Amino acid sequence: MKNIKGPAIFLAQFAGSEAPFNTLDGMCQWAANLGYKGIQIPTWEAGLIDLQKASRSKTYCDELKGIVQSHNLEITELSTHLQGQLVAVNPAYDTMFDAFAPKEVHGNSKARTKWAVQQLKWAAKASQNLGLKAHVTFSGALIWHTMYPWPQRPQGLVETAFKELAKRWTPILNAFDKSGIDLCYEIHPGEDLHDGITFERFLEATGNHNRCHILYDPSHFVLQCLDYLAFIDIYHERIKMFHVKDAEFNPTGRSGVYGGYQGWIDRPGRFRSLGDGQVDFKTIFSKLAQYDFDGWAVLEWECCIKDGEQGAKEGAAFIRDHIIKVTERAFDDFAGTAPDEKLNRSIIGI
């Protein structure tokens, strides 16, 4: 068994225009003071990283690592959640998702997709230059609007959509393979990869690509009423990244899984700070240790009630206290005996 690394923190929800959240150095100092050992960097935050430069310059990447290491931190992974979303967008969402891309490609879905694909390919090379092992992104969605179908889906729609999704992503997966990086999709409602079945569809459509993997975040499964513990048993070989995020689901007689278009604080399913929700993290950390997960436990803070600063401070201690130092010996070794083939045969009766 292997020890999970951590605690680490995803910087996306904290990056901003004011110090210390507007520079990599400032955010590293902040995270280190809270007790974190690693940071996951959102690549769309220009104040934290120049993705194109990182893809081309090992020297620049060494400088980034130097800043991070000066605070006794490590870069755990890079993230392209926003860019990955734009690899596949149904036209119904064009206007809203244009906000994730530069203004020069707004209103031009083909140009926007081309921009997103380039971003992902840069991320593969940047991850290699930084000496990382994995990268996280979103799959995007072509048929999310048919998730609860009415009118019913035409026959073959799902197969066509996943064939197209794989067509768009396979060259990107190949780029990550060339760079020696595992590409992990955060399994997330709103994406075509939102549960185990959809991940399996996509994996099959990519020819079981060896770089196609999973970022495991139990909070998204709580909100779907999916068995997030059994998910680990089924997919542990493909789980290469871990977001530690809490959630709760409290259905009422008025609202359930779909939320009634309510804001987060009024939904039956909502994200919470670590320890304030319903996720069984003790069992999750045990299962991941059992299956030799050797990646990072990364806090992703999203809570509709608690302030982010408090959530980040509490989250470092929460993760640290849940990381299991795996045993190097069996508990009953004290009663064991040395190998003795003659004795073994006599016990069997042969």
pLDDT score recorded for residue 71: 98
pLDDT digits (tens, 9 = 90+) for 1-23: 889 999 999 999 999 999 999 99
Residue 161 CA to residue 141 CA, distance in Å, equals 9
DSSP output for 31-47: HHHHT-SEEEEETT-TT
* Helix 308-322 vs helix 24-34: crossing angle, to nearest 10: 60
Contact 262, 255 (CB under 8 A): yes
Domain boundaries of the chain, sorted by first residue: 5-348
pLDDT digits (tens, 9 = 90+) for 227-259: 999 999 999 999 999 999 999 999 999 999 999
Angle at 185 between CA 283 and CA 138, to 5 degrees: 125
CATH class name, domain 5-348: alpha beta
What's the length of the chain? 350
User: What is the mean predicted confidence (pLDDT) over 197-202?
Assistant: 98
pLDDT band at 336 (very low <50, low <70, confident <90, very high): confident
Q: Do you find a cis peptide bond into 268, omega within 30 degrees of 0?
A: no
pLDDT score recorded for residue 334: 64
Give, rounded to a whole angstrom, the gap between the first and last alpha carbons of the chain.
35
pLDDT score recorded for residue 338: 81
pLDDT digits (tens, 9 = 90+) for 133-142: 999 999 999 9
Residue 252 parent element (H or E): none
Q: Which residue pairs, CB below 8 angstroms and at least 24 apart, start in 309-312?
A: 310/273, 311/273, 311/274, 312/9, 312/14, 312/31, 312/34
Instruction: Indicate the pTM of the whole model.
Output: 0.95
